[in-house]
């Protein structure tokens, strides 16, 4: 993965002032907090469009596919067009949680073939810290979600056309193989990995063989990503330097995308297991390990 992963606040402001601003996506989401739109309307980067993670960045949940399966490509394309995505127009994504939610949009769009997608480094907190203004209210009105969906094969002028396969994915069987033959990173908090606390999924613990690498440790105190050399050491300490292939999972495939972004900054490519622990733990035939060690 060679494309840039992040955009700084200074770079974003320069783009906005240029008269050719990027598409700005605000992915305000947190586990257990259903008020993302309210947070967005209270204050967002001027011109940003609200993106509903549960409805627009995921398909319907199921035990087989987990709490946040990948959305249907046609649905994702319709959403992307409603956000204002056009061929050749860059996209900048952020949230108010260190980009741990926004990375889902970053990963999905990269997976769907959009080349210029970056995360606002430091997320909304960095914009605020720079003393830059916020916009309140509902923002731009998106097309009716119930309206006829644009034809995938007949885009209008420069409408975005999504093509899957830009980033690799795996399923539960593939994740098990990565844990035994490569490196499988668990991006959840340490207490969930160890099986001490499980707030939402059917069972506690982790995929046997997976290595704990909590997403929060990718970030500096100010919410920006650690420098590339520090991230590289972090992942090398967990075996990334020797692994032929790297996979990542979390609770439902959201914060794992943040881990993949951090790995990319560090110079490593990685595969996402979208179903993650929510799908694995729902299958009673799948084993679960507990404690601080992989097995």
C-alpha count within 13 angstroms, C-beta hemisphere, residue 46: 9
CA–CA dist 178, 183 (Å, integer): 6
Q: Do residues 206 and 289 lie in contact, with contact meaning Cβ atoms separated by under 8 Å?
A: yes
Residue written as token pair 């399923």: 171
φ, ψ of residue 230 to 5 degrees: the values are -70, -40
Q: Could you tell me which residues come within 8 angstroms of residue 13 by beta carbon, excluding any fewer than 6 positions away?
A: 130, 132
SS3 state of residue 124: helix
Closest CA relative to residue 217, chosen from 196, 188, 191, 239: 188
Q: Give the three-class secondary structure for 13.
A: helix
- Spatial neighbors of 133 by CB under 8 A, at least 6 apart, are 46
C-alpha 277: how far from chain center: 16
Residue 99 and residue 120 in contact, taking contact as beta carbons nearer than 8 Å: yes
The Cα–Cα gap between 132 and 11 comes to 13
Q: Dump strand ranges (E) for 102-196.
A: 117-120, 183-186
Task: Compute the distance between CA of residue 215 and CA of residue 233 in angstroms, rounded to an integer.
Answer: 15
Mark whether 250 is an active-site residue.
yes
How many CB atoms are located within 10 Å of the residue 135 CB? Answer: 13
101, 250, 262, 264: which one is catalytic?
250
Q: Which residues are catalytic?
A: 250
């Amino acid at each position: 993965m060679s494309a840039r992963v992040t955009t700084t606040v200074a770079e974003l402001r320069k783009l906005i002032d240029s008269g050719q601003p990027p598409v700005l996506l605000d992915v305000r989401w947190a586990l257990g907090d259903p008020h993302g739109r309210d947070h967005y309307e209270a204050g967002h980067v001027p011109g940003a469009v609200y993106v509903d993670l549960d409805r627009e960045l995921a398909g319907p949940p199921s035990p087989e596919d987990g709490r946040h399966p990948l959305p249907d490509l046609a649905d994702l394309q319709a959403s992307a067009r409603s956000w204002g995505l056009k061929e050749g127009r860059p996209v900048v994504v952020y949230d108010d949680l260190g980009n741990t939610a926004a990375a889902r949009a970053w990963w999905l769009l990269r997976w769907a073939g959009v080349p210029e997608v970056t995360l606002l480094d430091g997320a909304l907190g960095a914009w605020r810290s720079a003393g830059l203004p916020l916009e309140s209210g509902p923002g731009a009105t998106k097309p009716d979600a119930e309206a006829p969906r644009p034809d995938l094969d007949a885009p209008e002028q420069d409408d975005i056309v999504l093509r899957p396969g830009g980033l690799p994915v795996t399923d539960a069987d593939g994740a098990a193989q990565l844990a035994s033959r490569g490196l499988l990173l668990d991006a959840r908090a340490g207490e969930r990995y160890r099986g001490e606390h499980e707030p939402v999924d059917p069972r506690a613990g982790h995929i046997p063989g997976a290595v704990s690498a909590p997403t929060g440790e990718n970030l500096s105190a100010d919410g920006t990503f650690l420098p590339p050399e520090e991230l590289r050491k972090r992942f090398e300490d967990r075996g990334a330097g020797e692994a032929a292939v790297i996979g990542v999972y979390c609770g439902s495939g959201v914060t794992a995308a943040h881990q993949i972004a951090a790995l990319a900054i560090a110079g490593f490519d990685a595969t996402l297991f979208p179903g993650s622990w929510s799908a694995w733990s729902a299958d009673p035939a799948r084993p679960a390990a507990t404690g601080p060690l992989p097995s």
